A = this chain, B = another copy of it.
Amino acid sequence: MITKSVVKDIQSLTGKKYRDQAGLFLAEGSKLVEELLRDRPHAIKKIFALENWIEHNKIIDPAIQLTRVTTAELKRLSQLITPHEVVAVVAKFPQIPLRQGNGLTVVCCGIQDPGNFGTILRTADWFGVNQIVCSPDTVDVYNPKVVQATMGSIARLAVHFLEIEPWLKKQQLPIYAAVLDGKPLYEIARSRQGILLIGNEAKGVPASLLTTNNITGVTIPKVGGAESLNVAVATGILLSWFS
Protein backbone atom coordinates (compact mmCIF):
# COMPACT_ATOMS: atom_id res chain seq x y z
CA MET A 1 0.00 0.00 0.00
CA ILE A 2 1.36 3.39 -1.00
CA THR A 3 0.36 6.21 1.35
CA LYS A 4 -0.18 9.82 0.32
CA SER A 5 2.95 10.76 2.22
CA VAL A 6 5.06 8.33 0.19
CA VAL A 7 3.66 9.78 -3.04
CA LYS A 8 4.43 13.28 -1.79
CA ASP A 9 8.02 12.33 -0.88
CA ILE A 10 8.61 10.88 -4.32
CA GLN A 11 7.01 13.82 -6.12
CA SER A 12 9.14 16.25 -4.11
CA LEU A 13 12.25 14.71 -5.70
CA THR A 14 11.22 16.12 -9.06
CA GLY A 15 12.35 19.51 -7.70
CA LYS A 16 16.04 20.39 -7.46
CA LYS A 17 15.65 22.04 -4.06
CA TYR A 18 14.32 18.85 -2.48
CA ARG A 19 16.85 16.67 -4.26
CA ASP A 20 19.64 18.85 -2.86
CA GLN A 21 18.18 18.76 0.65
CA ALA A 22 17.64 15.02 0.66
CA GLY A 23 20.72 14.07 -1.35
CA LEU A 24 18.45 11.76 -3.35
CA PHE A 25 17.11 11.48 -6.90
CA LEU A 26 14.64 9.38 -8.87
CA ALA A 27 15.35 6.71 -11.46
CA GLU A 28 12.61 5.05 -13.48
CA GLY A 29 12.34 2.06 -15.76
CA SER A 30 13.80 -1.43 -15.65
CA LYS A 31 16.77 -0.75 -17.88
CA LEU A 32 17.90 2.27 -15.88
CA VAL A 33 17.30 0.74 -12.44
CA GLU A 34 18.98 -2.52 -13.45
CA GLU A 35 22.07 -0.62 -14.66
CA LEU A 36 22.18 1.28 -11.37
CA LEU A 37 21.86 -1.98 -9.43
CA ARG A 38 24.85 -3.28 -11.34
CA ASP A 39 27.06 -0.16 -11.37
CA ARG A 40 26.05 1.67 -8.15
CA PRO A 41 24.31 -0.94 -5.98
CA HIS A 42 24.90 0.88 -2.70
CA ALA A 43 23.36 4.10 -3.97
CA ILE A 44 19.87 2.57 -4.25
CA LYS A 45 17.75 3.30 -1.18
CA LYS A 46 14.18 2.40 -2.16
CA ILE A 47 12.56 0.48 -4.96
CA PHE A 48 8.85 0.54 -5.85
CA ALA A 49 8.14 -2.13 -8.41
CA LEU A 50 5.52 -4.37 -9.96
CA GLU A 51 5.46 -8.01 -8.86
CA ASN A 52 6.86 -9.13 -12.20
CA TRP A 53 9.92 -6.94 -11.92
CA ILE A 54 10.59 -8.07 -8.34
CA GLU A 55 10.40 -11.74 -9.29
CA HIS A 56 12.73 -11.17 -12.18
CA ASN A 57 15.35 -9.17 -10.27
CA LYS A 58 15.59 -10.91 -6.88
CA ILE A 59 16.82 -7.97 -4.79
CA ILE A 60 18.38 -9.43 -1.63
CA ASP A 61 20.28 -6.45 -0.24
CA PRO A 62 18.55 -5.63 3.09
CA ALA A 63 19.70 -1.99 2.76
CA ILE A 64 17.28 -1.54 -0.13
CA GLN A 65 13.70 -0.89 0.96
CA LEU A 66 11.62 -2.84 -1.52
CA THR A 67 7.90 -2.14 -2.00
CA ARG A 68 5.59 -4.14 -4.20
CA VAL A 69 3.14 -1.84 -5.98
CA THR A 70 0.19 -2.23 -8.29
CA THR A 71 0.11 -0.63 -11.74
CA ALA A 72 -2.24 2.04 -10.40
CA GLU A 73 0.12 2.83 -7.51
CA LEU A 74 3.13 2.98 -9.82
CA LYS A 75 1.27 5.49 -11.96
CA ARG A 76 0.95 7.78 -8.94
CA LEU A 77 4.72 7.59 -8.30
CA SER A 78 5.85 7.87 -11.89
CA GLN A 79 6.84 10.97 -13.82
CA LEU A 80 6.25 9.20 -17.11
CA ILE A 81 3.03 9.06 -19.12
CA THR A 82 3.48 5.31 -19.40
CA PRO A 83 5.21 4.08 -16.22
CA HIS A 84 7.83 1.35 -16.69
CA GLU A 85 7.57 -1.34 -13.97
CA VAL A 86 9.87 0.29 -11.42
CA VAL A 87 10.73 3.59 -9.68
CA ALA A 88 13.84 3.84 -7.47
CA VAL A 89 15.00 6.43 -4.97
CA VAL A 90 18.77 6.72 -5.31
CA ALA A 91 21.45 8.56 -3.27
CA LYS A 92 23.37 11.15 -5.27
CA PHE A 93 26.81 9.88 -6.14
CA PRO A 94 29.77 11.16 -4.12
CA GLN A 95 31.79 13.80 -6.00
CA ILE A 96 35.17 12.56 -7.09
CA PRO A 97 38.02 15.05 -7.57
CA LEU A 98 38.39 16.68 -10.98
CA ARG A 99 41.02 14.94 -13.01
CA GLN A 100 43.55 17.27 -14.61
CA GLY A 101 45.69 17.01 -17.64
CA ASN A 102 44.74 13.94 -19.60
CA GLY A 103 42.01 12.38 -21.68
CA LEU A 104 38.98 14.10 -23.11
CA THR A 105 36.68 16.31 -21.06
CA VAL A 106 33.32 17.55 -22.32
CA VAL A 107 32.28 20.97 -21.01
CA CYS A 108 28.57 21.86 -21.17
CA CYS A 109 27.96 25.62 -21.16
CA GLY A 110 24.36 26.22 -20.19
CA ILE A 111 22.62 23.21 -21.76
CA GLN A 112 18.94 23.75 -20.89
CA ASP A 113 16.97 20.84 -22.28
CA PRO A 114 17.09 17.78 -19.98
CA GLY A 115 16.73 15.38 -22.92
CA ASN A 116 19.67 16.98 -24.71
CA PHE A 117 21.84 16.98 -21.59
CA GLY A 118 21.05 13.34 -20.78
CA THR A 119 21.77 12.35 -24.38
CA ILE A 120 25.11 14.21 -24.27
CA LEU A 121 26.05 12.23 -21.14
CA ARG A 122 25.03 8.95 -22.78
CA THR A 123 27.06 9.84 -25.88
CA ALA A 124 30.12 10.82 -23.81
CA ASP A 125 29.89 7.48 -22.01
CA TRP A 126 29.74 5.60 -25.35
CA PHE A 127 32.96 7.30 -26.43
CA GLY A 128 34.70 6.62 -23.12
CA VAL A 129 34.69 10.23 -21.93
CA ASN A 130 33.95 9.96 -18.24
CA GLN A 131 34.57 13.48 -17.05
CA ILE A 132 31.99 16.19 -17.72
CA VAL A 133 32.26 19.78 -16.55
CA CYS A 134 29.12 21.98 -16.53
CA SER A 135 28.49 25.67 -16.01
CA PRO A 136 26.21 26.40 -13.04
CA ASP A 137 23.36 27.35 -15.41
CA THR A 138 23.29 23.89 -17.02
CA VAL A 139 20.22 21.82 -16.10
CA ASP A 140 20.64 19.67 -12.96
CA VAL A 141 22.17 16.27 -13.71
CA TYR A 142 19.71 14.64 -11.26
CA ASN A 143 16.63 16.09 -13.01
CA PRO A 144 14.46 12.99 -13.69
CA LYS A 145 14.35 13.66 -17.44
CA VAL A 146 18.14 13.96 -17.55
CA VAL A 147 18.56 10.72 -15.59
CA GLN A 148 16.11 9.02 -17.97
CA ALA A 149 17.86 10.24 -21.11
CA THR A 150 21.28 9.04 -19.89
CA MET A 151 19.92 5.47 -20.08
CA GLY A 152 22.15 4.44 -17.18
CA SER A 153 25.28 6.32 -18.22
CA ILE A 154 24.83 8.64 -15.24
CA ALA A 155 26.20 5.82 -13.07
CA ARG A 156 29.51 5.79 -14.93
CA LEU A 157 30.30 9.49 -15.25
CA ALA A 158 31.84 12.16 -13.03
CA VAL A 159 29.82 15.34 -13.57
CA HIS A 160 31.17 18.59 -12.08
CA PHE A 161 29.34 21.92 -11.85
CA LEU A 162 31.66 24.92 -11.62
CA GLU A 163 32.44 28.37 -13.03
CA ILE A 164 33.90 27.58 -16.44
CA GLU A 165 36.01 30.65 -17.14
CA PRO A 166 38.51 30.49 -14.23
CA TRP A 167 38.76 26.72 -14.56
CA LEU A 168 39.40 26.88 -18.30
CA LYS A 169 42.22 29.40 -17.85
CA LYS A 170 44.16 26.89 -15.78
CA GLN A 171 43.98 24.07 -18.34
CA GLN A 172 47.01 22.98 -20.37
CA LEU A 173 45.32 20.75 -22.94
CA PRO A 174 44.07 22.06 -26.29
CA ILE A 175 40.55 23.46 -26.03
CA TYR A 176 37.96 23.11 -28.80
CA ALA A 177 34.65 24.97 -28.91
CA ALA A 178 31.68 23.90 -31.05
CA VAL A 179 30.75 27.01 -33.05
CA LEU A 180 29.03 27.75 -36.37
CA ASP A 181 31.95 29.61 -37.98
CA GLY A 182 35.09 27.80 -36.88
CA LYS A 183 37.66 25.55 -38.48
CA PRO A 184 36.13 22.56 -40.30
CA LEU A 185 36.16 19.55 -37.97
CA TYR A 186 37.92 17.31 -40.45
CA GLU A 187 40.97 19.63 -40.51
CA ILE A 188 41.48 19.21 -36.77
CA ALA A 189 44.04 16.60 -35.76
CA ARG A 190 42.36 13.67 -34.03
CA SER A 191 43.41 13.33 -30.44
CA ARG A 192 42.02 11.87 -27.24
CA GLN A 193 43.66 14.67 -25.25
CA GLY A 194 41.62 17.81 -24.99
CA ILE A 195 38.67 19.81 -23.76
CA LEU A 196 35.53 20.14 -25.83
CA LEU A 197 33.15 23.04 -25.17
CA ILE A 198 29.49 22.59 -26.08
CA GLY A 199 27.19 25.60 -25.90
CA ASN A 200 23.60 26.37 -25.03
CA GLU A 201 20.96 25.22 -27.58
CA ALA A 202 20.13 28.75 -28.75
CA LYS A 203 23.12 30.86 -27.78
CA GLY A 204 26.05 28.50 -28.30
CA VAL A 205 29.32 28.78 -26.36
CA PRO A 206 29.50 32.14 -24.49
CA ALA A 207 31.59 34.72 -26.39
CA SER A 208 33.60 35.43 -23.22
CA LEU A 209 35.01 31.89 -23.32
CA LEU A 210 36.00 32.02 -26.98
CA THR A 211 38.91 34.34 -26.22
CA THR A 212 40.57 31.82 -23.89
CA ASN A 213 44.19 31.02 -24.81
CA ASN A 214 44.73 27.81 -26.66
CA ILE A 215 41.11 27.60 -27.91
CA THR A 216 40.06 26.58 -31.44
CA GLY A 217 36.53 27.09 -32.78
CA VAL A 218 35.39 23.94 -34.57
CA THR A 219 32.51 23.56 -37.03
CA ILE A 220 30.85 20.47 -38.47
CA PRO A 221 30.77 21.24 -42.20
CA LYS A 222 27.25 21.80 -43.50
CA VAL A 223 26.10 20.60 -46.90
CA GLY A 224 22.35 21.25 -46.79
CA GLY A 225 19.80 23.69 -45.50
CA ALA A 226 19.37 23.28 -41.73
CA GLU A 227 20.46 26.29 -39.70
CA SER A 228 22.03 24.23 -36.96
CA LEU A 229 22.40 20.73 -35.59
CA ASN A 230 20.84 19.49 -32.37
CA VAL A 231 23.43 19.94 -29.61
CA ALA A 232 23.55 16.24 -28.67
CA VAL A 233 23.95 15.22 -32.32
CA ALA A 234 26.77 17.76 -32.72
CA THR A 235 28.47 16.42 -29.57
CA GLY A 236 28.25 12.89 -30.97
CA ILE A 237 29.85 13.91 -34.26
CA LEU A 238 32.64 15.81 -32.51
CA LEU A 239 33.38 12.99 -30.06
CA SER A 240 33.29 10.46 -32.86
CA TRP A 241 36.03 12.47 -34.59
CA PHE A 242 38.20 12.94 -31.51
CA SER A 243 37.82 9.31 -30.47
Please report which residues of chain A, range 178-231, place their CB below 8 angstroms from some CB of chain B when the two chains form the complex.
Answer: 185, 220-230
Give the chain B neighbours of A149 by CB distance below 8 A.
230
Is the CB–CB distance between B226 and A152 below 8 Å?
A: yes
Q: Which of A67-75, A89-97, A118-126, A167-175 contacts B (4 or more CB under 8 A)?
A: A118-126
Q: Which of A122, A130, A151, A234 has the most CB of B within 10 A?
A: A122
Q: In the complex, what residue of chain B is closest to A230 when comparing beta carbons? A: B119
Number of copies: 2
- Which interface residue of A220, A226, A236 has the most chain B CB atoms within 10 A? A226
- Bitwise, A232-243 to B at CB < 8 A (1) or not (0) is 111111001101
| A240 and B220 contacting across the interface, CB-CB below 8 Å | yes
Contact A151 B227 (CB under 8 A): yes
Chain A positions within 8 Å of B, measured between CB atoms, are 35, 115, 119, 122-130, 149, 151-153, 156, 185, 220-230, 232-237, 240-241, 243
Question: Within the complex, which residue of B225, B230, B240 is in contact with A232, where a contact is CB–CB below 8 Å?
Answer: B230
Complexed CA–CA distance, A117 and B243 (Å): 26
- What residues of chain B lie closer than 8 Å to A229, measured between beta carbons? 122-123, 126, 236
Cα distance A15–B79 in the bound complex, in angstroms: 23
Bound form: Cα–Cα A223–B156 in Å: 13
Interfacial chain B residues near A126, Cβ < 8 Å: 220, 222-226, 228-229
Contacts of A153 in B (CB 8 A): 225-226
How many Å lie between the Cα of A226 and that of B234 in the bound state? 18
Q: Offer 9 A-B interface pairs, CB within 8 angstroms, sorted by A.
A: A123-B229, A123-B230, A126-B225, A127-B224, A220-B240, A230-B236, A234-B236, A237-B240, A240-B240
